Copies of this chain bind each other. A is one copy, B any other.
Amino acid sequence: MARLPVYLRALQALQDRGTLTVSSEALATAAGVNSAKLRKDLSHLGSYGTRGVGYEVEYLVYQISRELGLTQDWAVAIIGIGNLGRALADYGGFGTRGFRIAALLDADPGMVGQSVASLDVRHIDSLEEVVRSKGVSIGVITTPATAAQGVATRLVEAGVTSILNFAPVVLNVPEGVDVRKVDLSIELQILAFHAQRRADGDGRGAERAGLELT
């Protein structure tokens, strides 16, 4: 489930605060979901709480980490060291959660050799070699839209089956390859859409429904 990471983060926050057990109700509030849904999610992954008490925080953290595969560490390559790529490379939040930035790649020769977040930027031509030698299993694409599909294809051919795509294009990949997309302007557009709906509802609803009279 896509909600497990959210639960995990909420649990880790509780753990930092020294909480030992938590009820589904409290955890659900912290994670922003319905408590029945949370219980079903947890029961579905086989974890057990204790009736009348709740869930043991530490045990649950371990179980979810295990289910998510965070007990192993994943080598991540970032392709496209522009502003966004650099921001991701510098972001410290990955290392603590089982992810290790293993390589930075870029097509610009002027970029190659520079050091970003204590890693040398290497040329995109060495993608296949880097993936092999560093054991990269997740590729993060932060290139311009035009380059993204080419990079994705090369990643897949090099054996990478998990891709996180920040470029604003729909990637075409063979079955069995998992692509997740993060698109900043799409998020803004969805916000604008809802904001407009709210504005329309607040007094101009008739206009949208075609019922304006005056």
Contact partner, A86, options B70, B87, B97, B190, Cβ 8 Å: B87
Q: Are A68 and B187 in contact (CB under 8 A)?
A: no
Q: Are B164 and A188 in contact (CB under 8 A)?
A: yes
Q: In A73-111, which residues have CB < 8 Å from any B CB?
A: 74, 76, 82-84, 86-88, 90-91, 93-94, 97-99
Contact partner, A194, options B32, B97, B98, B162, Cβ 8 Å: B162
User: Number of A residues whose C-beta is below 8 Å from B?
Assistant: 58
What is the minimal beta-carbon distance from A183 to any residue of chain B, in angstroms?
A: 8
What is the minimal beta-carbon distance from A83 to any residue of chain B, in angstroms?
A: 4
Give A6 to B168 CA distance when docked, in angstroms: 9
A53 close to B (CB within 8 Å): no
Interface residues of A (CB under 8 A from B): 2, 4-6, 8-10, 30-32, 67-70, 72, 74, 76, 82-84, 86-88, 90-91, 93-94, 97-99, 137-138, 161-164, 168-170, 176, 178, 180, 182-196, 198
Sample (25) of A-B pairs whose CB atoms are under 8 Å apart: A2-B190, A4-B193, A5-B186, A5-B189, A67-B193, A69-B193, A70-B189, A74-B195, A83-B87, A87-B87, A88-B184, A93-B184, A94-B184, A97-B185, A98-B189, A99-B188, A138-B191, A138-B195, A161-B195, A162-B194, A163-B191, A176-B198, A178-B195, A180-B187, A182-B184
